Amino acid sequence: MATPFVEGRLRNERLEVEISTSCAHCAQPMHITVDERFQWRVKERDADPHLFLPHLDWHSFRGRNIIHDY
């Protein structure tokens, strides 16, 4: 499945995905929901994650995927 912002645009529908992760600093679990418009919210009230979208120059990027090559 494509990320929600890609799939949502392709299908012309509202989609969202929930990411289950944990804080790299304190290991507290977190659940982050992201929708097709890049809007996000965190389920845990006391969590204050620092989220970012990687900026890639797709014309010069030659890696197989951004996970290992960003």
In sequence order, the β-bridge partners of residue 30 are 21
Dihedral angle, C-alpha 24, 67, 55, 2, nearest 10 °: -110
According to the model, what pLDDT value does residue 3 have?
Answer: 63
Whole-number average pLDDT of the chain = 81
First to last CA, the chain: 21
Q: Give the closest residue to 42 by CA, choosing from 63, 26, 20.
A: 20
Backbone angles phi, psi at 32, to 5 degrees: -115, 125
Tens-place pLDDT, residues 4-13: 567 777 788 8
Sequence ranges of the domains in the chain: 1-45
